[in-house]
Structure 1
Amino acid sequence: MNAFINWLDLHFVPIAAKIGSQKHLVAIRDAFASLMPIVLVGAFAVLLNNVFFVPWSLLAGYIGEGHSFIVWAYANIAPLFDYLSAGTLSLISLYLVFAIGYQRASSENHDALSTAVIAASSFIVVGALGNADTGNYLDAKGMFIALIVGLIASGIYMKITDNGWVIKLPDSVPPAVGKGFSAVIPGAFAIGFWGIVAYCFSAFAGQTFFVWFQTTIANSLLGLSQGIGSVLIISFLVPFLWFFGLHGANLLEAVLNPIYGQLGLNNIEMFSNGVKTVGDGLSVWVRGSWDAYVYLGGSGGTIGLVLAILFFSKVKQDKEIAKLSLPTGIFMINEPVLFGLPVVLNPIYFIPFVLNQPILAGIAYVATSVGFAGPIVNQVPWTTPPVLNAFLSTNGSIGAVIIALVNIAVAFLIYLPFVYMGNKQEEKRLAAEAGVNE
């Protein structure tokens, strides 16, 4: 096992680290991170409506949708949160393309604000506003194209700027004015490129670029993401990377958010419009599914490891670390146990840490597919404690709560034999030390 881990550390980790630092992926990751305030405000607005104030809310399920409070709240309170959602989640793709342009330019020492504005303008030019038949693509539907437009528009803008094709004004001109004029020619190239793309699709394909991309590429990718194989592979890769000290979730964020994040926002929107089940069109697995069922205590389901150590470990140092790790693990932060125990590069915990997540994901996937657990329809902060996360994100599904509890128990049982293995190693170490001292 040690030889295998050393081989992976030597050959695999440098490649993974290089991929994780690739500038386009870093821009995507940082762009999504910068949108967190907008996403959380919109998600909380939808969450409050879905729990309390609309006829299909969790509360209405208990007191009846015709109850006087529900009727009053739907007319007087729900619209407030609808406004918040409309200004955040309903424009998420526009914010995303702006953020990608900004992050790409700032990382390469270009005028970040001008680049971001040009990227957003390109997004509108290529057809984000849609029409009466297609609707607009400013919400989660447009996230894939927002990524593409943001990366290409910012790339064109920076390339033209680097070539020196800019209008240069005298130093006496105020800097803000000078920057504005410097952006004219690069901006014209970037926006013009997407204008040509929009024209070509309209003239020769008879449809917008958005419609073509959504029907031929995006839907295929989203469909593949709903297969259990995709879910299990990603669930394996996150702890596998973490084992070597690489932040697995962050490295894969540039892939997870455009696909599973979009599906999660789609679920939120559909549920707000009265769609309640997977059979009616909600996605089985979204970005929040990992937080609700898999990252229990953090990547690798380490709440199970912490509990197993607290109850059954005979290694004093490990128990002390587990005591310190439990409070943070409840809020899904597990760096204390990953690096304190450690789990990272510890051969004893390689197998349970890496295989735990696919097993937990498989259980939750099947339970959601068959309707035992409700689908994820609310976005809650990833630091929400296990079980409560499942309850809130599924809008009160008791089946989801049961699956979260089952998964904690499964994680505990998976780690337990390896905690016993650690006990035996500690006994051998103490015996060896005693022999030396004698």
Structure 2
Amino acid sequence: MNKLIQFFEDHLVPVAAKIGNQRHLIAIRDAFAALMPLVMAGAIALLLNNVVFSPGGLLATLLKAEESGIYTFFGEYISPILGTVDSGTLSILGLALAFAIAYLRAQAEDQDALITGIISVGAYITLGALSRENLIVAPWVGHYLGSQGVFVALIVGLVVPAIYFGIVNKNWTIKMPDTVPPAVTRGFMGIIPGTIVLLLAATIKFALTKIPFVGMEAMFGEAPTTIFMLFEVYIAMPFANISQGPLLVFIISLLVPMLWSFGLHGANLLAAVTSPIYGNLQNHNLQAFKEGITEVGARPLETNTLAFWVSGSWDAYVYHGGSGATLPLIIAILVFSKVRDQREVARLSLAPGIFMINEPVLFGIPIVLNPIYIIPFVLNQPILAMIAFYASKSGFAGPIVNSVPWTTPPVLNALLATNFNPGAGLIAFLNLVIAFLIYLPFVIVANRADAKLNPSDV
């Protein structure tokens, strides 16, 4: 086992660390993290609306009070307010992402972050973000400012700064006297680079209207082709369809704890891949459910149905206590372990673990580079993911239609995320028990190993 650990440490850790330090991936990861205020504000508003205040929501349906006086009041004065929050949060994620990535890239390169971010937003709009006429997929959305534009926002947020930096570094800028205020100087310095970038964006938009593309008419009719349309047809839908298959879910579920085993934040390292795909599908589910769509399909963006596996699916069914489902491990240690230091760490880690924070147990036991606990830590997560995946695919659990805070305790997370779907709660509880049973024999093995090495600890 020690040789296996050493092999992974020698070969996997350097590669993972190099990927984790790649500047463009860091910008993507941090940009998605920066969107959390918008995402959570919109998600909380939708959650309250769907569950509590909407006359057609969960609580009104359970109480059979859809037409009662209080829900008439809610429907007229409260629900519209909560519904409007979407327009300034989830509905502008693509626009915000284009700004955030460019801003962070500029910061990393010691360039003018504010000007770079503004030019990136201008390029994003110039490419056609304000006009969307999809006849099949989410036809109620009339622009690409939200999740429908995420893939283009990624490209714009990376490419625009690269072009801008190249022009600035060639000194193709307007120089101002030293007596001019810095804010004015910065603005004038960005005129030439910004103009060139925006002209390039306009040229690309115009050129695409002159090229015939296969598969556009069925979805967009006679509307002129834009880069957003191309990404919807050729990138977003294929990725969305792949994401609803077990292989990608299994690989991601395996890689997250595997990276954590070496002290690398697996979820953050993979966020540049998972957020554009599964985060985008979750936003699609939230907005589609808001429009009354309840049918689940394996090709959600093509058939205008709900996706059965989205980013919130891991939180609801797999991350019980955090990556690797460590809350069941904490419980197993508290119940069965006699090792004093492990019990103390587990006791201190219990409260954070209930709210999905597991760094105390990861580095306190530790699980990182632990030849015993690393095995169940890595293997249990794909098992839990596959159980939940097929339960969701069959319709027994889910779908995820609300975005709840990731700190929501296990089981309650699944219930809230699925509008209190009983199958979702049952699968979440079942996975909690399965993870406990997977960890249990390793807790006993660790107990015996410590008894041999440190008799005084037991």
2:145 alignment partner, one of 128, 135, 138? 138
- Counterpart AA for 2:294: K
Q: Please give the alpha-carbon distance, in whole angstroms, between the structure 1 residues aligned to 2:93 and 2:176.
A: 36
Q: Aligned-pair distance for 1:5?
A: 1.0
Other-structure match for 1:324:
348
Q: 1:304 Cα deviation (Å)?
A: 1.1
User: CA offsets, 1:177-211, max 9 Å, x none?
Assistant: 11111001111222122111111111223522211
CA separation of 1:392/1:133 partners in 2, compared to 1, >3 Å: closer, same or farther? closer
After the TM superposition, list the runs of 4 or more consecutive aligned residues in structure 1 that deviate by more than 3 angstroms.
Answer: 131-134, 430-434
**What pairs up with 1:235-384 in 2 under 5 angstroms?**
235-279=253-297, 281-384=305-408
Q: Distance in 2 between matches of 1:255 and 1:225?
A: 11
TM-score w.r.t. length of structure 2: 0.92
Query: Is the alpha carbon distance of 1:414 and 1:199 closer, same or farther for their aligned partners in structure 2, counting shifts above 3 Å?
Result: same
In structure 2, the residue matched to 1:110 is 111
Distance of aligned partners of 1:433 and 1:97 in 2 relative to their CA distance in 1, 3 Å threshold = closer
CA deviations 1:92-144 (Å, max 9, x no partner) are: 11111111111110111110000000000000000101145573111111111
Residue aligning to 1:66: 67
- 2:210 is paired with a residue of what secondary structure? helix
Q: Deviations over 1:327-378 (max 9, x none)?
A: 1100111111111101000010121000111011111111111111121111
Shift in Å at residue 301 of structure 1? Answer: 0.3
CA distance in 2 between partners of 1:12 and 1:430 (Å): 31
> Kindly tell me: are residues 379 and 431 of structure 1, through their superposed partners in 2, closer, same or farther at Cα, counting changes over 3 Å?
closer
SS of 2:367's equivalent in the other structure is coil
Structure 2: distance between partners of 1:230 and 1:90: 27
Letter in 2 for 1:247: H
TM-score, length basis structure 1 = 0.96
- For residue 430 of structure 1, report the CA deviation from its aligned partner: 4.1
The verdict on how the C-alpha distance between 1:165 and 1:326 changes in structure 2, with shifts beyond 3 A counting, is same
Q: Kindly tell me: are residues 348 and 168 of structure 1, through their superposed partners in 2, closer, same or farther at Cα, counting changes over 3 Å? A: same
Look up the SS of the partner of 1:318 in the other structure.
helix
Unaligned runs of 5+ in 1: none
Q: Which runs of 5+ in 2 are unaligned?
A: 136-141, 213-223, 298-303
Q: How many residues get paired?
A: 434
| Residues 264 and 35 of structure 1: CA distance in aligned 2, closer, same or farther (over 3 Å) | same
2:211 match: secondary structure: helix
AA matched with 1:264? Q
Q: Measure, in 2, the Cα distance between the counterparts of 1:229 and 1:355.
A: 15
**Match for 1:334: what amino acid?**
N
Superposed CA RMSD in Å reads: 1.6
Task: State whether structure 2 residue 211 is matched by structure 1 residue 204.
Answer: yes
Q: What is the one-letter code of the residue matched to 1:104? A: R
CA distance in 1, matches of 2:39, 2:108: 23
**Is residue 2:436 matched to residue 1:418?**
no
Deviates more, 1:250-259 or 1:48-57: 48-57
Q: Which amino acid aligns with 2:9?
A: D
Superposed displacement of residue 274, structure 1: 1.0
Write 1 or 2 for the structure with the bigger share of helix.
Answer: 1
- CA displacement at 1:56 relative to structure 2: 3.1
2:178 partner SS = coil
CA distance in 2, matches of 1:26, 1:162: 23
Aligned to 2:19: 19
Question: Aligned ranges for residues 183-198 of structure 1 at < 5 Å?
Answer: 183-198=190-205
